[in-house]
Copies of this chain bind each other. A is one copy, B any other.
């Protein structure tokens, strides 16, 4: 049995052609990331500060605190360069690739957030970069495609399957299998074969390193509960990591989508709640909790939030849930959309739709989370405005602002 495991989860389920690269990466991870060889970590910290904008603030959410009768604090990863926590990892990995002497970067992207972060990091470090993106996603995430191209990255359309994240990951692995000698694959979450889940977590652990210090400094004690949304689980693990040994409740909030049930025949799970409802399986290089049918075929997941729309989840998070250290919970599309509007209106912070799930849970469980709750704002919602407008209108949510102004001005339809 592999030793690269979190309990039963983890491992390295990849084609043999990639194994040498994975071993090389494991070695580089141990030396540069874990042991700061050649001052890697010092350089990473300096760059994520000057280029990325760390530390991000911890902000007391006044209106939410009042609403819930609980002190609510926001960890503002939305202020990181690029608009999401994603840069912590992208910058770390591109820098590591440089230390490893690689001269080409590839990455997959779904909603485009990881792709844009990687493109930024690659431009910053002067590395050629190609991003794989499903053709469906290219169509619906135009602005992020612009951003990647503008930063000089190539964007390769993935036309297999439904043309979304799952297919993009598979396609990036195929590129890597071909180009592994000079290329590093910057995976976008705490998923994939070891050492990715540990390494990506370590880069994101700056979130909890700062948040823990900030809460102690600003409030004088540790939070009772920490909430983060979970897709692959990278912002989640980053937010939880330094609290794991503390007496702090940790909640991973998944996308409940439109329903927790699954449609076996169609191969579709209308949610992305792999921690809550998935079964142990092997996907994209690691053993973890996976949305799959009874035969082991991977399901198409679904969430209103593209960044949570993934059938797997990080193996460490799966393990922590099995251990009872992390609570896996979920909220549905409607609760997330409402939370999106609530935070925007009450706090002047427009969250990513992914992030909004964490606030949906806060709304639902406001009475049970204790007196001091920390929520990770994993990203900003600028990218989601069109989607939210559309999804909100379809559902006729009363909390949403009307957009009559466009009709007024255009004298017609939106």
User: A residues near B, CB below 8 A?
Assistant: 49-53, 56-60, 62-63, 76, 78-81, 83, 119-126, 135, 138-139, 142-143, 145-147, 149-152, 155, 157, 341, 344-350, 381-382, 385-386, 388-389, 401-403, 405-406, 408-410
**Complex Cα distance A50/B56, Å?**
8
**Complex Cα distance A294/B95, Å?**
58
**Complex Cα distance A9/B240, Å?**
55
Query: Which of B78, B146, B403 lies in contact with A146, CB distance below 8 A?
Result: B403
A122 and B348 within 8 A (CB)? yes
A406 and B57 within 8 A (CB)? no
Query: Which of B125, B135, B382 lies in contact with A409, CB distance below 8 A?
Result: B135
Copy count, this protein chain: 2
Query: Which of B152, B157, B344 lies in contact with A151, CB distance below 8 A?
Result: B344
B410 and A139 within 8 A (CB)? yes
Closest to A163 in B: B409
Query: Which of B139, B151, B348, B349 lies in contact with A345, CB distance below 8 A?
Result: B151
Q: Say yes or no: A119-B348 contact (C-beta < 8 A), given A63-B126, A126-B63, A139-B410.
A: yes
Closest to A91 in B: B348
A385 and B143 within 8 A (CB)? yes
**Complex Cα distance A216/B54, Å?**
20
**Complex Cα distance A322/B224, Å?**
59
**Complex Cα distance A329/B139, Å?**
41
B138 and A406 within 8 A (CB)? yes
B57 and A49 within 8 A (CB)? yes
**Complex Cα distance A58/B125, Å?**
17
B149 and A403 within 8 A (CB)? yes
**Complex Cα distance A151/B151, Å?**
29
- Which chain B positions have C-beta within 8 A of A63? 126
- Which chain B positions have C-beta within 8 A of A57? 49-53
**Complex Cα distance A388/B147, Å?**
11
A382 and B348 within 8 A (CB)? no
**Complex Cα distance A123/B347, Å?**
6
